């Protein structure tokens, strides 16, 4: 979508959005390329034993058509929500394409989430189907009675009690399917994002969200795509960073994506994967880059063929920026956005848009500013809140069943990010910090409300408050302050038990890595925990 340009100013001046009147993500990422070049590689799947398997666009188109027929036959209709609950795998791409073609709404959920987290998302979204693996099917089984609207559970790893087998179903279905005639504004994707209070909110996006992401992918990856490009990210495809920064835009451009399930990010395995498969483009969040930095330098050990390295999701920092030049011989192009409106700021060393510590400039097509509380635009170097102006094709349609929360996200036509920042005289944006209590840990945005709700379900916990504690590797770690019920005594054993409780009920990245026992919580007169005091204590 980006025009050719020799400078950032020329690029911005010549850019125009190209949003058609009718558009369907599923057709775009599968059928389009299957018609042009059916054997073109779509997904290169790397198995745990190291062997790789290539899946073509023909496979992606036909499998998604078959799955769309299965879902329709099972009673899934246009507008219904379908949860995709599994790690990186070729079937994930096929599920997304099938759901979009059907006119339904894809709802990706990270496999690390436990029964309580998946139960909330099932109930809140009213999802009628879940497509998962054996691990996910076992979690869904625990809470299926809590989701009365759930009609169908399919596993890519075989049938079991009340779970149907993916391969059996699609093998019997027709490979022909007439896709839904969708507009760019028709709902197609919903991703739950954490907030400061209460449970996570479903950010609902139209089909245009993929087209809206293209400039923010193309610019930080030095005019992606180029001949020979091959994309990989360790980020979960259920996260906006993995799905919308890598998988869907790459398939739009006909660029193959490497899928590899990592139970835990391992720097040496990551280096070896990039070298063995001649990966050219990577999106690696800052926490993973810091972990790579903690390992031995790849120079002289791994023959890397990287062309571009993008990073975002949290602040990169000047130190990691400088290390990247030495370790990879590349400038790390940083970018910025959030689930509701992603990839609106970015860097591009090729165009001279790169400054240590900055998160970039406004990507062509996006109007971004730092604003005051009244909605007026700040002067250069004045602290305010980073905001994005609507209309904007990458911006969400609204929060699912949360009209008031959607209204509160805006001041006039400015969508508030909740991030404090400044813009300098050259147009570079600098992230300063959250103006709320969301915790940024290992690239995840974690809302304290969901964790606190889980903590107080533990039989020993009376009250709980969660804050982010600064951490040199993860940006922040989750720290819980816990007030115990009478009859329970603080101990390391109990702290460990509470940690494991959250880890199994929610997700491994959400459990408190530190637990502090307190006699009482600092409260306002209206009964709200004063997290500011707890952050200072942490």
What distance lies between CA 495 and its chain's CA centroid?
30
Question: How many Cβ atoms are within 10 Å of 486's Cβ, its own excluded?
Answer: 5
User: Which region holds residue 333: left if phi is over 0, alpha if psi is between -120 and 50, else beta?
Assistant: beta
**Strand extents, DSSP E, 180-270:** 187-193, 201-206, 231-232, 257-260
Give the DSSP letter string of 41-103.
Answer: EEEEEEPTTS-EEEEEHHHHHHHHHHHHHHHHHTT--TT-EEEEE-SS-HHHHHHHHHHHHHT
What pLDDT is stored for residue 435 in this prediction?
Answer: 66
What distance lies between CA 234 and its chain's CA centroid?
11
Rounded CA separation 502/9 (Å):
49
Tally: H helices and E strands in the chain:
18, 27
Tally of CA atoms within 13 A in the half-sphere of 337 that contains its CB: 32
| DSSP one-letter code for 367 | -
Asked whether the beta carbons of 344 and 216 are under 8 A apart, the reply is yes
Q: Where are the domains of the chain?
A: 26-207, 439-537
Mean pLDDT by 10 residues, the chain (538 residues): 95 97 98 98 96 98 98 98 97 98 97 93 98 97 96 97 97 98 98 75 98 98 98 94 97 98 89 97 90 83 95 82 91 96 97 94 98 97 95 98 96 94 96 74 79 88 90 92 94 96 89 94 64 87
Rounded CA separation 319/310 (Å):
16
Residue 46 pairs in a beta bridge with 52, 260
| DSSP one-letter code for 351 | G
Q: For the chain, what's the residue count?
A: 538
Q: Three-state DSSP class for 417? A: strand
Rounded CA separation 532/468 (Å):
10
Give the DSSP letter string of 320-337.
Answer: HHHHHHHHHSS--EEEEE
* pTM, rounded to two decimals: 0.87
Rounded CA separation 128/110 (Å):
18
State residue 80 phi and psi, 5-degree precision: -70, 150
Token pair in block for residue 495: 């702290």
Q: Three-state DSSP class for 152? A: strand
Distance (Å) of CA 250 to CA 6, 216, 246, 283, 503: 24, 12, 6, 12, 33
What pLDDT is stored for residue 525 in this prediction?
Answer: 43
Say which CATH topology domain 439-537 has.
GMP Synthetase; Chain A, domain 3 (3.30.300)
Distance (Å) of CA 136 to CA 144, 168, 292, 312: 12, 18, 29, 28
Rounded CA separation 45/370 (Å):
42
- Residue from 336, 280, 340 nearest 311 by CA: 336
- Residue from 104, 90, 99 nearest 65 by CA: 99
The answer regarding whether domain 26-207 maps to CATH 1.10.10.10 reads no
Q: Which residues of 419-436 are buried (b: 16+ CB within 10 A; e: fewer)?
A: bbbbbeeebbbbbbebbe
Residue 415 pairs in a beta bridge with 388, 410
Q: Same topology for domains 26-207 and 439-537, yes or no?
A: no
Rounded CA separation 153/428 (Å):
47
């Amino acid at each position: 979508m980006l025009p050719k340009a020799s400078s950032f100013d020329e690029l911005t001046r010549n850019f125009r959005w190209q949003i058609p009147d009718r558009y369907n993500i599923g057709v775009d990422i599968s059928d389009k390329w299957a018609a042009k070049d059916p054997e073109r590689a779509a997904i290169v799947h790397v198995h745990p034993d190291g062997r790789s398997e290539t899946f073509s666009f023909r496979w992606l188109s036909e499998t998604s058509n078959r799955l769309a027929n299965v879902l329709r036959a099972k009673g899934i209709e246009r507008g219904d929500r379908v949860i995709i609950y599994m790690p990186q795998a070729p079937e994930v791409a096929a599920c997304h394409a099938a759901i979009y073609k059907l006119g339904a709404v894809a709802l990706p959920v990270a496999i690390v989430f436990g029964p309580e987290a998946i139960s909330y998302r099932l109930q809140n979204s009213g999802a009628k189907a879940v497509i998962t693996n054996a691990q996910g099917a076992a979690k869904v089984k625990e809470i299926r009675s809590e989701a009365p609207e759930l009609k169908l559970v399919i596993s890519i790893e075989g049938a079991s009690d009340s779970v149907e087998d993916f391969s059996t179903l699609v093998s019997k279905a027709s490979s022909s399917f007439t896709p839904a005639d969708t507009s760019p504004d028709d709902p197609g994707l919903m991703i739950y994002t954490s907030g400061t209070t209460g449970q996570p909110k479903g950010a609902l996006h139209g089909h245009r969200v993929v087209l809206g992401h293209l400039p923010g992918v193309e610019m930080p990856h030095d005019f992606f795509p180029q001949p020979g490009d091959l994309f990989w990210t360790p980020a979960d495809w259920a996260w906006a960073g993995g799905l919308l920064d890598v998988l869907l835009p790459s398939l739009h451009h006909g660029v193959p994506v490497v899928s590899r399930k990592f139970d835990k990010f391992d720097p040496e395995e990551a280096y070896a994967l990039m070298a063995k498969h001649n990966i050219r483009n990577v999106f690696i969040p800052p926490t993973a880059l810091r972990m790579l930095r903690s390992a031995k330098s790849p120079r002289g050990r791994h023959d890397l063929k990287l062309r571009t390295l993008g990073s975002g999701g949290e602040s990169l920092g000047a130190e990691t920026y400088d290390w990247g030049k030495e370790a990879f011989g590349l400038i790390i192009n940083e970018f910025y956005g959030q689930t509701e409106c992603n990839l609106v700021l970015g860097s591009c060393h090729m165009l001279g848009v790169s400054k240590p510590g900055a998160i970039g400039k406004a990507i062509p097509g996006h109007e971004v500013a730092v604003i005051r509380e009244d909605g007026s635009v700040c002067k250069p170097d004045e602290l305010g809140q980073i905001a994005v102006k609507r209309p904007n094709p990458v911006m969400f349609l609204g929060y699912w069943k949360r009209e008031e929360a959607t209204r509160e996200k805006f001041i006039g036509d400015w969508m508030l990010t909740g991030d404090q920042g400044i813009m300098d005289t050259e147009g570079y944006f600098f992230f300063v910090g959250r103006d709320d209590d969301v915790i940024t840990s290992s690239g995840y945005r974690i809302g304290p409300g969901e964790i606190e709700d889980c903590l107080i379900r533990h039989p020993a916990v009376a009250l709980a408050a969660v804050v982010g504690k600064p951490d040199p590797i993860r940006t922040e770690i989750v720290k819980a302050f816990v007030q115990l019920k009478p009859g329970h005594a603080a101990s390391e054993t109990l702290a460990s038990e509470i940690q494991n409780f959250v880890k199994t009920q929610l997700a491994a990245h959400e459990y408190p890595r530190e637990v502090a026992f307190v006699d009482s919580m600092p409260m306002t007169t209206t009964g709200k925990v004063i997290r500011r005091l707890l952050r200072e204590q942490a």
